C-alpha cells in the first residue's frame, strides 16, 4: 500500500506525447522539482489510506492493515508549485476516504482558490456539514463509491453505509451547485462489480440517472484470499468476481449488465469499464464453450481518470 508522507515523496512523473502529463502524490521518493515540468495537467493525489468503512472485499478489512495520511504541513508550497506547473486539476482519490481527514474541505478550497479544479472519490457514508457540501459543489467531478442500490445488500457488503445518506448528500450538493454556480454537479457512480451486485445493475443505473449521475464506472474486483476465512466469523457476505459464476447465473448477469449499460448510454451517460472485468467474464464463458465475446457494448478502458468524468 502507498505510504502518505511529505511533498518529497511523490509517485513517478508520467509524460507522453499522447496524453497530458500527470503526477501522483503519495508514494515513492521524488523531489520537489518533479512538479516543475513544462506542464502537469493532472495531479493524482492520494490523501490517505485510512477509511471509515470496512468493505468485505477490501484490504482495509484485514486486521493487520495499517493506513496513514498525507502530511499537509507543506500545503502552501505544494499549491505554489502546482500553480507554477500550470496544473489544471487535482484528482483526490486513492485507497482511503479523504473525508475522514479533519478539515479536508479547506485543502480542496485552497486548490480551488488558486485556480486549480478539484475532483474527488468518496463513499458519502456520513452526513456532511454545510462547508463540506460547499466544497463538493465547487468540484469538477465527484466519484461516489456505491456498489448497489439494494439498501440491505449495500449495508452488508460495504458496512456502515446507508443508501439514504448517500442520496441525501447528493441532493444537498445538487441544490448548492445550482444555487451558487447555476449548474448541476458532475457525478460519477462507481461500483465494484461482483457476483452479488451484478443481478441488480439495471436498478443501479436507473437510480443513478434519477439522481443526476452523468458517468458510471464498473470497477474490477480484486479478491484477497485471507478475507473469506477472516470475515466468516462475522457471517459477512463476501463478494466474488462476477467471472466465478456458473453458466446460467453468468449469462443472466451478462444480460443485466448489458441492459444497464444500454440504459446509461441511451440517457447520454458515459460508461467506463476497468480492465479485468471483460477479460475474466470472457475467459469464463469460453470454459462453457461460448466463444462469442461479451463486450458490454462499450470499449474496455483503463482505470477511471478525471478526463473521462465529463458526461460528453
For the segment 216-235, what is each residue's pLDDT rounded down to a tens digit? 999 999 888 888 778 877 78
Question: What mean pLDDT do residues 26-36 have?
Answer: 48
Q: Which of 242 and 28 is assigned the larger pLDDT? A: 242
Edge-to-edge strands, sheet with 22-25: 22-25, 42-46, 89-93, 117-122, 141-145, 187-193, 213-220, 270-273
Summarize pLDDT for 182-209 with one digit per residue, the tens.
999 999 999 999 999 999 999 999 999 9
Encode pLDDT of 137-165 as tens digits.
Answer: 999 999 999 999 999 999 999 988 999 99
Q: Say what the pLDDT of residue 303 is.
A: 35
Q: How confident is the model at residue 38 (pLDDT cuts 50, 70, 90)?
A: low
Lowest mean pLDDT among 77-81, 198-202, 209-213, 285-289: 77-81
**Helix H segments across 121-234?**
130-137, 151-158, 163-181, 201-210, 226-232
pLDDT of residue 141: 96
For residue 59 the three cell numbers come to 484490504
d(CA 291, CA 288): 9
- Which domains occur in the chain, in start order? 22-308 (3.80.30.10)
Number of Cβ within a 10 Å radius of residue 189:
27
Q: What is residue 205's predicted lDDT score, i.e. its pLDDT?
A: 98
Q: What is the pLDDT of residue 25?
A: 56
CB 146 within 8 A of CB 124: yes
What's residue 21's pLDDT? 55
Long-range contacts of 79-84 (CB under 8 A, 24+ apart): 79/110, 79/111, 79/114, 79/116, 81/32, 81/35, 81/36, 82/35, 82/40, 82/43, 82/111, 82/114, 82/116, 83/114, 83/115, 83/116, 84/35, 84/36
- Crossing angle of helices 104-113 and 75-84, in 10° steps, is 30
Q: What is the pLDDT of residue 171?
A: 98
Please say if the pLDDT value at position 7 is more than 50. Answer: no
Mean residue pLDDT of the chain comes to 83
Interstrand relation of 42-46 and 187-193 (parallel, antiparallel or unpaired)? unpaired
Q: Is the pLDDT score of 95 beyond 50?
A: yes
Nearest to 148 by CA among 256, 251, 50: 256
For 55, 96, 194, the CA distances from 237, given in Å and listed in that order, are: 10, 21, 12
Predicted confidence at residue 144, as pLDDT, reads: 97
Band of residue 28 on the pLDDT scale cut at 50, 70, 90: very low
Cβ–Cβ < 8 Å for 290, 282: no
What percent of the chain has a predicted confidence (pLDDT) above 90? 60
* Contact (CB, 8 A) for 67 and 47: no
Whole-structure pTM over 0.85, yes or no?
Answer: no
pLDDT value of position 253? 95
Helices 247-266 and 201-210 pack at an angle, to 10 degrees, of: 20
Helix (H, G, I), strand (E, B) or coil at 39: coil
Say how far apart CA 253 and CA 150 lie, in whole Å.
16
Q: Give the helix/strand (H/E) hosting 281.
A: helix 277-287
CA distances for 253 relative to 46, 95, 246, 249, angstroms? 33, 27, 10, 6
pLDDT of residue 59: 81
Classify the phi-psi angles of 241: left when phi > 0, otherwise alpha if psi is within -120 to 50, otherwise beta.
beta
Mean pLDDT of 277-293: 95
Residue 235: the pLDDT is 81
More confidently predicted of 174 and 20: 174
Average pLDDT rounded to a whole number, residues 55-79? 84
Amino acid at each position: 500500500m502507498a505510504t502518505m508522507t511529505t511533498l518529497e515523496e511523490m509517485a513517478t512523473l508520467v509524460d507522453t506525447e499522447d496524453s497530458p502529463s500527470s503526477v501522483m502524490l503519495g508514494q515513492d521518493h521524488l523531489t520537489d522539482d518533479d512538479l516543475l515540468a513544462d506542464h502537469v495537467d493532472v495531479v493524482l493525489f492520494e490523501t490517505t489510506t485510512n477509511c471509515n468503512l470496512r468493505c468485505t472485499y477490501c484490504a482495509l478489512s484485514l486486521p493487520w492493515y495499517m493506513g496513514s495520511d498525507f502530511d499537509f504541513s507543506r500545503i502552501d508550497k505544494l499549491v505554489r508549485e502546482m500553480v507554477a506547473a500550470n496544473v489544471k486539476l487535482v484528482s483526490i482519490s486513492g485507497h482511503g476516504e479523504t473525508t475522514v481527514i479533519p478539515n479536508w474541505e479547506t485543502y480542496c478550497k485552497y486548490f480551488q482558490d488558486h485556480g486549480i479544479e478539484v475532483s474527488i472519490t468518496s463513499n458519502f457514508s456520513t452526513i456532511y456539514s454545510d462547508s463540506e457540501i460547499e466544497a463538493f459543489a465547487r468540484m469538477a467531478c465527484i466519484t461516489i463509491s456505491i456498489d448497489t442500490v439494494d439498501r440491505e445488500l449495500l449495508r452488508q457488503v460495504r458496512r456502515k453505509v446507508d443508501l439514504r445518506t448517500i442520496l441525501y448528500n447528493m441532493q444537498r450538493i445538487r441544490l448548492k451547485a445550482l444555487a451558487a454556480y447555476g449548474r448541476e454537479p458532475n457525478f460519477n457512480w462507481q461500483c465494484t462489480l461482483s457476483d452479488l451486485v451484478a443481478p441488480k445493475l439495471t436498478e443501479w443505473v436507473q437510480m443513478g440517472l434519477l439522481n443526476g449521475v452523468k458517468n458510471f464506472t464498473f470497477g474490477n474486483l480484486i479478491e484477497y484470499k485471507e478475507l473469506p476465512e477472516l470475515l466468516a466469523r462475522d457471517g459477512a457476505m463476501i463478494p466474488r468476481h462476477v467471472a466465478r459464476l456458473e453458466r446460467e447465473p453468468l449469462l443472466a448477469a451478462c444480460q443485466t449488465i448489458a441492459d444497464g449499460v444500454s440504459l446509461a448510454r441511451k440517457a447520454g451517460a458515459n460508461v467506463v469499464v476497468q480492465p479485468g472485468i471483460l477479460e475474466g467474464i470472457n475467459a469464463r464463458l469460453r470454459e462453457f464453450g461460448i466463444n462469442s465475446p461479451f463486450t458490454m457494448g462499450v470499449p474496455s478502458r483503463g482505470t477511471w481518470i478525471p478526463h473521462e468524468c465529463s458526461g460528453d
